[in-house]
Amino acid sequence: MNILQSGIKNVTMGENITIVEPVNIYGCTIHDNTFIGPFVEIQKDVTIGSHCKIQSHTFICELVTIGNNCFIGHHVVFINDLFETGGPAQGKKELWKSTHIGNNVSIGSNATILPVTICDGVVIGAGSVVTKNITTKGVYAGNPAKLIRTL
């Protein structure tokens, strides 16, 4: 039997970080004045900017970068494996893709974010599925997420 403990391990943290346990956070970087809610997992090679708020039950997988002043709602899921070979990459990290979230981005609860780039100043509606890069500041919603209006 192999039992692993969740917790906070090998995390580079800025100043004034608030983390509400239980969490599973390891091998990542979290910048100043950021809040992490309970039941959040943040994997290695993730960077979270300053003045962010990550709400409960969110999963942030490897290769995600989140800018400054971002809000990530409850139960947001980031994906890095697109199952391009018909199933999970299973240890083939070279098949994983990265995600880049700009500054001043708000992502509503229950959104799913595939490997994309989202520019600064974007709002993603609750329950949306982001499947393509977002290059225009605005409000996006739906499955797949589409531009509702520019900001």
Could you tell me if residue 102 is inside a domain? Answer: yes
Residues 87-106 have pLDDT tens digits of 888 878 889 999 999 999 99
What per-residue confidence (pLDDT) applies to 100? 98
Cβ–Cβ < 8 Å for 68, 51: yes
Could you tell me if residue 64 is inside a domain? Answer: yes
Could you tell me if residue 3 is inside a domain? Answer: no
What per-residue confidence (pLDDT) applies to 48? 98
Cβ–Cβ < 8 Å for 54, 41: no
Count structural domains, the chain: 1
Cβ–Cβ < 8 Å for 95, 84: yes
Could you tell me if residue 101 is inside a domain? Answer: yes
What per-residue confidence (pLDDT) applies to 90? 82
H or E segment at 25?
strand 24-26
Instruction: Identify the CATH number of the domain in which residue 97 sits.
Output: 2.160.10.10
List the domain range (segments joined by +) for residue 141. Answer: 8-150
Could you tell me if residue 52 is inside a domain? Answer: yes
Could you tell me if residue 118 is inside a domain? Answer: yes
CA distances from 143 to 126, 127, 135, 140 (A): 11, 8, 18, 10
What per-residue confidence (pLDDT) applies to 89? 86
Distance CA 140, CA 112 (A): 13
Residue 93 phi/psi, 5° resolution?
Answer: -60, -20
Residues 26-71 have pLDDT tens digits of 999 999 999 999 999 999 999 999 999 999 999 999 999 999 999 9
Could you tell me if residue 2 is inside a domain? Answer: no
Could you tell me if residue 1 is inside a domain? Answer: no
